[in-house]
C-alpha cells in the first residue's frame, strides 16, 4: 500500500533497531520518506552514500546539539529539508537567560545552515522534559526562532491544546518548517508516551485542516514513541497510524 506523499516517518517509529536493520522495516511498511535522528546516523558514521543507496528520501533530521555540524553537512548531502533540535535544558536559569545563552551559542549554526541552503529549526517538547528544553509552546518556540532567524517544528503532541492556535498559526505560517504528528491520551503522566493516531484525544483531522488552510505546504512527520507503542509493536502501531493519517490528508485534499 502507498501512503500519502506528504507523510514522512521518523526513525523513532522503528524503536531501537539500528539504521542498517531499519531498511527492512521501511520496506515492509512501504515507506520511502523518513525523518532521521542523529544517534542512529552517527552510528553509521554520517555516511550519506549508505543512506542514498537504500533509496530512502530523508525529509528531516532531528539532532543533538553536540553533533550539529555533522548533522548539517549530512543533511545537505542527502537533500533533507531541515535540521532541528530542542534548545537544551533551562538549568537553574530564568527563561530569558536561557534564551539569551542559546541565541549566542547557536548563531554560527544558523549561519552555516544558510550557507548550505538547509533550514534550521527549533522544536518544542513536553514540559516534563526540562532536561532537554525550555520551550514547550508554539508561542515560545516562535519567539526563540525569531530571535535566531530560524524555523519552528510544530510538534502537535505538545501544542495542539494551545490557546488561539489557529490565529497564531496563520500569523506565523512562514516560520513552520515541519509538522510532527502522533496522538496523545489525556491522563498520561510520563514522557514520552505517544499513542497511535486515532487512539488518543488529539483532534488531529481538525488540526490538519487548520494547518493546510493556513497555507502549510511541507511534510507531516509521524513520530511514535513510548510504552503504548512498544506494547503494541512499532510495526503495527506505525502501519495503523500511516493508514489513518493518509486517509485524513486524502479527505482534506492535501
**pLDDT at position 1:** 65
Residues sharing a CB contact under 8 Å with residue 100, sequence separation 6 or more, in sequence order: none
**SS3 (DSSP) at 251:** helix
Write down the CATH superfamily of domain 7-251.
Divalent-metal-dependent TIM barrel enzymes (3.20.20.150)
| Burial of 88 from C-beta contacts in 10 A (0-12 / 13-18 / 19+) | middle
The C-alpha atoms of residue 148 and residue 108 are separated, in whole angstroms, by 10
| Burial of 237 from C-beta contacts in 10 A (0-12 / 13-18 / 19+) | buried
**pLDDT at position 142:** 98
Cell of 76: 545537505
**pLDDT at position 2:** 82
**pLDDT at position 236:** 98
> Whole-angstrom distance between the N-terminal and C-terminal Cα of the chain?
18
Q: Would you give the distance in Å from CA 40 to the centre of its chain?
A: 15
- pTM for this entry: 0.96
The C-alpha atoms of residue 126 and residue 180 are separated, in whole angstroms, by 13
**pLDDT at position 165:** 97
Spell out the domain ranges in the chain.
7-251
Residue the block writes with cell 497510524: 241
**Cα torsion through 238, 22, 229, 74, rounded to 10:** -90
**pLDDT at position 213:** 98
The C-alpha atoms of residue 21 and residue 167 are separated, in whole angstroms, by 43
Q: In a structure prediction context, what are the per-residue pLDDT tens digits for the chain, which is 254 residues long? A: 689 999 999 999 999 999 999 999 999 999 999 999 999 999 999 999 999 999 999 999 999 999 999 999 999 999 999 999 999 999 999 999 999 999 999 999 999 999 999 999 999 999 999 999 999 999 999 999 999 999 999 999 999 999 999 999 999 999 999 999 999 999 988 889 999 999 999 999 999 999 999 999 999 999 999 999 999 999 999 999 999 999 999 999 99
The C-alpha atoms of residue 153 and residue 34 are separated, in whole angstroms, by 15
Amino acid at each position: 500500500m502507498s501512503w500519502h506523499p506528504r507523510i514522512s516517518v521518523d526513525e523513532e517509529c522503528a524503536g531501537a533497531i539500528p539504521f542498517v536493520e531499519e531498511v527492512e522495516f521501511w520496506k515492509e511498511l512501504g515507506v520511502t520518506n523518513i525523518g532521521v535522528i542523529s544517534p542512529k546516523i552517527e552510528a553509521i558514521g554520517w555516511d550519506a552514500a549508505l543512506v542514498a543507496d537504500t533509496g530512502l528520501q530523508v525529509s528531516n533530521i532531528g539532532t543533538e546539539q553536540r553533533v550539529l555540524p555533522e548533522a548539517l553537512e549530512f543533511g545537505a548531502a542527502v537533500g533533507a529539508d531541515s535540521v532541528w533540535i530542542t534548545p537544551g535544558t533551562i538549568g537553574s536559569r530564568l527563561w530569558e537567560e536561557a534564551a539569551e545563552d542559546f541565541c549566542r551559542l547557536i548563531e554560527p549554526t544558523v549561519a552555516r545552515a544558510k550557507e548550505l541552503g538547509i533550514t534550521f529549526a527549533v522544536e518544542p517538547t513536553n514540559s516534563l522534559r526540562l532536561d532537554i528544553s525550555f520551550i514547550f509552546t508554539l508561542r515560545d518556540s516562535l519567539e526563540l526562532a525569531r530571535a535566531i532567524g530560524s524555523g519552528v517544528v510544530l510538534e502537535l503532541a505538545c501544542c495542539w491544546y494551545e490557546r488561539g492556535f489557529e490565529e497564531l498559526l496563520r500569523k506565523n505560517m512562514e516560520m513552520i518548517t515541519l509538522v510532527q504528528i502522533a496522538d496523545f491520551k489525556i491522563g498520561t503522566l510520563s514522557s514520552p508516551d505517544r499513542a497511535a493516531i486515532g487512539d488518543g484525544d488529539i483532534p488531529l483531522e481538525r488540526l490538519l485542516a487548520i494547518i493546510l488552510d493556513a497555507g502549510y505546504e511541507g511534510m507531516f512527520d509521524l513520530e511514535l514513541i513510548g510504552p503504548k507503542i512498544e506494547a503494541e509493536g512499532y510495526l503495527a502501531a506505525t502501519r495503523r497510524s500511516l493508514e489513518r493519517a493518509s486517509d485524513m490528508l486524502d479527505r482534506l485534499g492535501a
